[in-house]
Amino acid sequence: MIFDTHAHYDDEAFDEDRESIIEELKTSNVGKIVNVGANLSSSQRSVDLANKYDFFYAAVGVHPDDAAEIDDESLNRLREMAANEKVVAVGEIGLDYYWNKENSDIQKKAFLAQIELAKELSLPIIVHSREAAKDTMDILASSDAAKTGGVVHCFSYSPEIALEAVKMGFYIGVGGVVTFKNAKKLKESVELIPMERILLETDCPYLAPDPFRGKRNSSLYLDYVVKEIASIKGIDEEKVIEITYKNALEMYGIGD
């Protein structure tokens, strides 16, 4: 079975047909999905989805775009949500200098505060990091984030940084981008890091793989990502599915 470790089925892109897509997923080869929050309201919606569907789990956290949302009160709300047993991670949290670099201090503070929360709750973190490799790695090291571990999702940095993250004990999230012809660095990273450190993810509705690039993504398209990883690694597609599933259970602390 396939484990989609990072999805946003609460997104408005699914408002028209959310229920029917989820019904379709039930009869597909997708066995488990973690729906990831990006602010307080989408975190709550992720918990609601996990409560409603057996094979859904939730991550709660505030994305760097909404870093200003983080204060004592919102941290408490995340803490309350995380008391639900289907909440398996704190995320997505991190740094994004692509969209906004001016508020990097606020982003760093929010990132650190949520790493501390994850440590307190003994939950792994889901890291979003874009054009902020050095600051991200520095914060992960200085905050001893390896203690809870987690994943660098939608990995977009160099193979060297992938190795560094793996050495720190983190997983690397690989999704639709790996199928793009111009994704040379990501293909190299996948080649370099051990299969035991790779997780499958969609980030849907975003980042659909080829040949659906630009369309709405869903977990049903993960087969294309599996195919690409299998060809890079020179192993069977079944093996990719099996190992990444096991990796995800381990990272999220979910029993099968």
Nearer to Ni ion, 38 or 243 (CB): 38
Nearer to Ni ion, 100 or 233 (CB): 100
In this structure, what token pair is assigned to residue 200?
Answer: 């499958």
Nearer to Ni ion, 64 or 242 (CB): 64
Verify cis geometry, omega within 30 degrees of 0, for the bond prior to 205: yes
Q: Which amino acid is at 218?
A: S
Neighbours of 98 (CB within 10 A): 12
Q: Residues in the site for Ni ion, rule: CB under 5 A? A: 203
E-assigned strand segments in 8-115? 30-36, 56-60, 87-96
Q: Which residues on neighbouring strands pair with residue 96, listed in sequence order?
A: 130
Instruction: State whether residue 177 is helix, strand or coil.
Output: helix
Report, in Å, the least distance between residue 64 CB and Ni ion. Answer: 11
Report, in Å, the least distance between residue 26 CB and Ni ion. Answer: 22
Nearer to Ni ion, 59 or 232 (CB): 59
Q: Which of 82, 83, 85, 225 lies closest to 154 in space, CA to CA? A: 225
Nearer to Ni ion, 96 or 203 (CB): 203
Report, in Å, the least distance between residue 169 CB and Ni ion. Answer: 21
Nearer to Ni ion, 127 or 234 (CB): 127
Nearer to Ni ion, 92 or 228 (CB): 92
Burial group, residue 71, by CB count within 10 angstroms (0-12, 13-18, 19+): exposed
- DSSP structure string for 177-201: GGGSTT-HHHHHHHHHS-GGGEEE-
Report, in Å, the least distance between residue 27 CB and Ni ion. Answer: 25
Report, in Å, the least distance between residue 6 CB and Ni ion. Answer: 6
**CA end-to-end span of the chain:** 11
> Which residue's C-beta sits nearest to Ni ion?
203
Residue identified by tokens 């993250």 is 165
Q: Edge-to-edge, what's the strand order for the sheet holding 87-96?
A: 2-7, 30-36, 56-60, 87-96, 125-130, 150-152, 170-174, 198-200
Report, in Å, the least distance between residue 178 CB and Ni ion. Answer: 16
Report, in Å, the least distance between residue 234 CB and Ni ion. Answer: 29
- Distance between CA atoms of residues 243 and 195, nearest Å: 7
